[in-house]
């Protein structure tokens, strides 16, 4: 496949990616159940690794460009790529758990926010706005839609509500490769990023910040935090373009816990 083309997955590829997406979702759901005060992020990493082995899958982040763990755990001001360690989750923390697995030749990638116990109203609003913007971007996806419009949908939604969107990290195509075309920006842009076609598979994963989106990269060369120390939130699905719309391959299962921000009766009005 030429480097500048977006791969169209075959029916066989899509079947395998549905399995990979389901496995990633199952593992993310189990990882989220561990979130409570006093739990070390290393414990989340250990569970993710063990579940990958049980499901005959490989944790995609492990040893990817020297990333040392099997999952990303990004707490509070960490925008993305937090490395699990001995850090204990505290009451009021918010944490993004980002699970990517490789099974039968294909990756599945998803992330979700979790609240440690109870948190403040500002953090709740940040999560709700991030979730809503992500959902608006997903609703846009269908054959013929331009990839460069995703960023504007996200940025307009969050900016109107007083937040900023990271310009330094992108969404991406996914399949046999962890990261491939299209590379999708989460801010308003006019870049030529291509047009959606049935069989395209990619992620949408906006990183939304309470303050400015400028980041600091830690010496580990992975952990990115907000420069002003304010909190950040993120959600992610692997998305398939179908003939008449889109299908999240990492969608929630009947067994998946329902978070308050996705429940119409409990979601914040923002």
For residue 34 the two structure tokens come to: 């561990």
State pLDDT tens for residues 81-101.
Answer: 999 999 999 999 999 999 999
State pLDDT tens for residues 207-248.
Answer: 999 999 999 999 999 999 999 999 999 999 999 999 999 999
Distance between the two ends of the chain, CA-based, in angstroms? 44
For residue 25 the two structure tokens come to: 């979702």
State pLDDT tens for residues 176-193.
Answer: 999 999 999 999 999 999
Nearest to 205 by CA among 71, 79, 76, 37: 79
Identify how many contiguous H helices and E strands the chain contains and give both numbers.
4, 15
Rounded to two decimals, the pTM is 0.97
CA distance linking residue 6 with residue 199, whole number of Å:
10
Look at residue 145 in the predicted model and tell me its pLDDT.
Answer: 98
Region of 194 please: left (phi>0), alpha (psi -120 to 50) or beta. Answer: left
Look at residue 4 in the predicted model and tell me its pLDDT.
Answer: 64
Q: Are 260 and 269 in contact (CB under 8 A)?
A: no
Nearest to 41 by CA among 142, 114, 100, 118: 114
For residue 58 the two structure tokens come to: 């490989």
For residue 210 the two structure tokens come to: 């309470």
Beta strands in 9-80 (DSSP E): 58-59, 72-75, 78-80
Residue with tokens 């109107």, as numbered in its chain: 160
- DSSP-derived secondary structure letter, 196: -
Res 117 pLDDT > 70: yes
Q: Are 207 and 165 in contact (CB under 8 A)?
A: yes
State pLDDT tens for residues 1-60.
Answer: 444 689 999 999 999 999 999 999 999 999 999 999 999 999 999 999 999 999 999 999
Nearest to 74 by CA among 187, 174, 220, 249: 220
Residue by residue, DSSP assigns 98-134 as EEEEEETTEEEEEEEEEESS---HHHHHHHHHHHHHH
CA distance linking residue 149 with residue 256, whole number of Å:
30
CA distance linking residue 100 with residue 19, whole number of Å:
13
Look at residue 206 in the predicted model and tell me its pLDDT.
Answer: 98
CA distance linking residue 71 with residue 42, whole number of Å:
9
């Amino acid at each position: 496949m030429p480097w500048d083309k977006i791969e169209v997955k075959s029916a066989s590829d899509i079947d395998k990616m549905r399995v990979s997406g389901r496995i990633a979702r199952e593992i993310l759901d189990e990882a989220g159940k561990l979130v409570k005060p006093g739990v070390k992020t290393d414990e989340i990493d250990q569970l993710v690794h063990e579940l990958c082995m049980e499901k005959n899958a490989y944790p995609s982040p492990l040893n990817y460009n020297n990333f040392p763990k099997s999952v990303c755990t990004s707490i509070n001001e960490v925008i993305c790529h937090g490395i699990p360690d001995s850090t204990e989750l505290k009451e009021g923390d918010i944490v993004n758990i980002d699970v990517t697995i490789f099974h039968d030749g294909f990756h599945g990638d998803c992330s979700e926010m979790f609240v440690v116990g109870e948190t403040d109203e500002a953090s709740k609003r940040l999560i709700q706005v991030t979730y809503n913007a992500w959902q608006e971007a997903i609703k846009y996806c269908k054959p013929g839609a331009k990839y460069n419009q995703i960023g504007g949908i996200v940025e307009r939604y969050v900016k109107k509500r007083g937040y900023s969107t990271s310009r330094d990290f992108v969404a991406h195509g996914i399949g046999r490769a962890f990261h491939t075309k299209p590379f999708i920006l989460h801010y308003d842009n006019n870049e030529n990023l291509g047009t959606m076609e049935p069989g395209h598979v990619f992620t949408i994963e906006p990183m939304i910040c309470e303050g400015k989106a400028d980041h600091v990269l830690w010496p580990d060369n992975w952990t990115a935090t907000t420069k002003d120390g304010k909190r950040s939130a993120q959600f992610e699905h692997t998305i398939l373009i179908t003939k008449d719309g889109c299908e999240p391959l990492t969608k929630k299962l009947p067994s998946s816990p329902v978070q308050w921000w996705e429940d119409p009766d409990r979601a914040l009005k923002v």
